[in-house]
Amino acid sequence: NAGVTQTPKFRVLKTGQSMTLLCAQDMNHEYMYWYRQDPGMGLRLIHYSVGEGTTAKGEVPDGYNVSRLKKQNFLLGLESAAPSQTSVYFCASTYGGTDNEQFFGPGTRLTVL
Amino acid sequence: GENVEQHPSTLSVQEGDSAVIKCTYSDSASNYFPWYKQELGKRPQLIIDIRSNVGEKKDQRIAVTLNKTAKHFSLHITETQPEDSAVYFCAATPDTGTASKLTFGTGTRLQVTL
């Protein structure tokens, strides 16, 4: 039981390049989330999904897109990376409903030059 | 939407002392309040949570208290140990209709010194 995994662990991009971050969970969770973590700002929600085929915007969605084609996977895309997107990205998942504990992945450290 | 404020941003205590971290929230509909611990370079992990139908919850050296009227909740760590050194985040969410979206505080860096 791997829990929540993320790939890649580290990535350096040049401004304007694109990339996709992959989150996978093997706990049969319905809800999945993408956060970014910046110094002094806590965790901020980018996008989330309440089930396969559904996505919604969070607090800071600009510059990101997501897809959830399979229940166990949640992809975060950056179409044209900007230095402001330098951050640590965490994926999380939970059953939902009254079972709210969110389980986090190990994070992806992204640097945009 | 929900807004969560967390204080202090840094906290230094001597080993064996107690540590208290406080959070306030704005949405009266919030009824689930978790606390996460994040060690350096690691993922956040849930250490304790509380729902609005109780005022206090304990788990060994960790306790959380909730005052719904004042919209604040606190984390209490007693008999602190060096391994308690980490960043702690509070969060809040309403249970229903919000996809269990958590709003996090900005974190408290706790340092336990020998």
Which residues in chain A are closer than 8 Å to B92, comparing Cβ atoms? none
The minimum CA-CA distance between A91 and chain B, rounded to whole Å, is: 10
B106 vs chain A: nearest CA distance in angstroms? 4
Read off the tokens for B98: 């919000």
Q: Output the pLDDT for position B50.
A: 93
Chain A, window 42-81: residues with a beta carbon less than 8 angstroms from a chain B beta carbon: 42-45, 48, 50, 56, 58-59
Chain A residue at shortest CA distance from B1? A59
Distance, in Å, from the CA atom of A32 to the CA atom of A52, rounded to the nearest integer, reads 10
Instruction: Strands of chain B (E only): list them.
Output: 4-7, 10-14, 19-25, 32-38, 45-51, 56-59, 62-67, 72-77, 86-92, 103-104, 108-113
Taking contacts as CB-CB distances below 8 angstroms, the residues of chain A near B89 are 42-43
A102 with B106: Cβ contact below 8 A: no
> Exposed, middle or buried by CB within 10 Å (0-12, 13-18, 19+), for A94?
buried
B65 contact partners, CB below 8 Å, separation of at least 6 = B50, B55, B56, B73, B74, B76
Query: What pLDDT is stored for residue B94 in this prediction?
Result: 81
Query: How high is the pLDDT of residue B54?
Result: 85
Q: What is the pLDDT of residue B36?
A: 98
pLDDT at A40: 82
| Nearest chain A alpha carbon to B92 | A100
Residues with Cβ < 8 Å from A99, sequence gap 6 or more? none
Tell me if chain A has a CB within 8 Å of the CB of B32: yes
Shortest CA distance from B31: residue in chain A: A98
Q: Which pLDDT does position B88 carry in this prediction? A: 98
Each of the 114 residues of chain B gets a pLDDT tens digit; together they read: 889 999 999 999 999 999 999 999 999 999 999 999 999 999 999 999 998 888 999 999 999 999 999 999 999 999 999 999 999 999 998 866 667 889 999 999 999 999
Residue A32: which pLDDT band, with cuts at 50, 70 and 90? very high
Q: Is B83 helix (H, G, I), strand (E, B) or coil?
A: helix
Task: Please list the residues that pair with A93 across neighbouring strands.
Answer: A32, A103
Residue A103 scores a pLDDT above 80: yes
Question: What is the Cα Rg of chain A in Å?
Answer: 13
Q: Which of A59, A68, A100, A104 to mutate to test the interface with B (most CBs of B within 10 A)?
A: A100
Instruction: Give pLDDT, residue A99.
Output: 65
Q: For residues A91 and A74, is the Cβ–Cβ distance under 8 A?
A: yes
pLDDT, greater one: B10 or A42: B10
Q: Can you give A41-105 as a three-state secondary structure string?
A: CCEEEEEEEEECCEEEECCCCCCCEEECCCCCEEEEEECCCCHHHCEEEEEEEECECCECCCEEC
Instruction: Identify the helix (H) or strand (E) that includes residue A111.
Output: strand A108-112
**Could A101 and B9 be called an inter-chain contact, meaning their C-beta atoms sit closer than 8 Å?**
no
- Residues B89, A42: C-beta atoms closer than 8 Å: yes
